[in-house]
A = this chain, B = another copy of it.
């Protein structure tokens, strides 16, 4: 008997929480470098059988006018954080964000392979190409790399990383103590990659990892981003604000898989959902309002400017409309379209739009009872708008505990989500096959 389709859940961990004002909430520890809080969140998510923890990243600290009034300047580096969390968890997947624009494929391949070994097959790489000029300036460049070039680099980068992960046959390491043969030379493949952006000999100095290859996650939704995802990604994290747009995105991306010889089950689409749970709808709304009240208008507007593609909106009146902005070349066109749409539909002022995105940051926002939230998730899941969700909560770890103890049981009751882990690796949780090694 085949298992009915099950939804997947990722827990998005972001220091004090996803809401920009979370750190100001009296129940939140405002220190973003508090490992104990991360450990608690990881254990909550694992007890609820989440597929994975997701950790975002940037290789720069913002220093604009409102940076000192948000908690986003400093945080743990994802690979070190996830490695530490691997030692205090048993089953949950560990997905870390690393940019291809300011890294070398050998280091990235190696660190994720190492994490996959350390965690017994729970590593995932969220491949991003970065979206801030500030990052470029920490790596010898004046300006951010243009979108097309970033994606060309990312594509070759991914190819090199995959080739390095396949440096060794799964059974290469015979470790025969008696004969003295440690590995079978026939099980070694030297990549010898020479391309436009990279020249990497190999082999990787890590054995093929428990998952064969760590799970590849992506989030780009531009045309180029979708093509890269269709060719290579196994999970896509996306921001969709309505079931209709989620369904369109889902159909589009799944429809692209065939030309790369891939089946639609080989890529899981997981929109972000920003969730505030209450025992009653009124309680949930009041909880959300508490966070919203803590948002300074200037902070909300500055956050909005960043999300639109690093625009400085501080010169525009707070009670005026969102000004018309040039479509940026360097990154956030899809977000820009989305937010412009929301502002128009709801007739929001600049300050209102800023506050509006302070929690969900463009992700679908659900504020309600466990039943209401489960209904919505179920509708998206069964309506082919999502294979699962990345759950974003206003504050950590408490917001995650609310979701884990109130919404997850309801999803389990409906037969939509596991009550215990069936497998041990992230691939097994997600229902993804362990890839073979094409070199052997």
Binds B, one of A43-51, A81-89, A274-282, A409-417: A81-89
In the complex, whether A288 has a CB less than 8 A from a CB of chain B is: no
> Nearest chain B CB to A247's CB is how many angstroms away?
37
In the complex, whether A68 has a CB less than 8 A from a CB of chain B is: yes
In the complex, whether A75 has a CB less than 8 A from a CB of chain B is: yes
Q: List, in ascending order, chain B residues with CB within 8 A of A85's CB.
A: 87
Q: List, in ascending order, chain B residues with CB within 8 A of A60's CB.
A: 201, 205
| C-alpha spacing A180/B30, complex, angstroms | 11
- Out of B30, B76, B177, name the residue touching A118 (CB < 8 Å): B76
B118 touching A35, Cβ below 8 Å: yes
> Nearest chain B CB to A206's CB is how many angstroms away?
5
Closest B residue to A120 using CB positions:
B35
A53-95 to B contact mask, C-beta < 8 Å, 1/0: 0000011110100011111011111011101111110000000
B74 touching A168, Cβ below 8 Å: yes
B59 touching A114, Cβ below 8 Å: no
- Out of B25, B83, B200, B205, name the residue touching A139 (CB < 8 Å): B200
| C-alpha spacing A137/B199, complex, angstroms | 7
In the complex, whether A330 has a CB less than 8 A from a CB of chain B is: no
| C-alpha spacing A181/B61, complex, angstroms | 16
In the complex, whether A140 has a CB less than 8 A from a CB of chain B is: yes
A104-128 to B contact mask, C-beta < 8 Å, 1/0: 1011001101110110000000000
Q: Report if A206-B77 is in contact (Cβ < 8 Å); known contacts: A182-B70, A185-B68.
A: yes
> Nearest chain B CB to A46's CB is how many angstroms away?
14
A180 touching B81, Cβ below 8 Å: no
Q: List, in ascending order, chain B residues with CB within 8 A of A76's CB.
A: 114, 117-118, 206
A81 touching B140, Cβ below 8 Å: no
| C-alpha spacing A31/B174, complex, angstroms | 10
A118 touching B84, Cβ below 8 Å: yes
Q: List, in ascending order, chain B residues with CB within 8 A of A296's CB.
A: 180
In the complex, whether A103 has a CB less than 8 A from a CB of chain B is: yes
B87 touching A205, Cβ below 8 Å: no
| C-alpha spacing A167/B67, complex, angstroms | 15
In the complex, whether A183 has a CB less than 8 A from a CB of chain B is: yes
A61 touching B204, Cβ below 8 Å: yes
Q: List, in ascending order, chain B residues with CB within 8 A of A110's CB.
A: 59, 77
Closest B residue to A57 using CB positions:
B205
In the complex, whether A173 has a CB less than 8 A from a CB of chain B is: yes
Closest B residue to A79 using CB positions:
B80
In the complex, whether A175 has a CB less than 8 A from a CB of chain B is: yes
In the complex, whether A202 has a CB less than 8 A from a CB of chain B is: yes
> Nearest chain B CB to A27's CB is how many angstroms away?
10
Closest 6 CB pairs of A and B: A83-B83, A87-B87, A77-B114, A61-B205, A137-B201, A30-B175
Known A-B contacts: A76-B206, A77-B113, A180-B299. Give 15 more (CB < 8 A): A23-B175, A33-B206, A63-B203, A68-B188, A75-B206, A76-B114, A77-B206, A79-B83, A80-B118, A83-B83, A83-B84, A103-B107, A106-B139, A137-B201, A180-B296
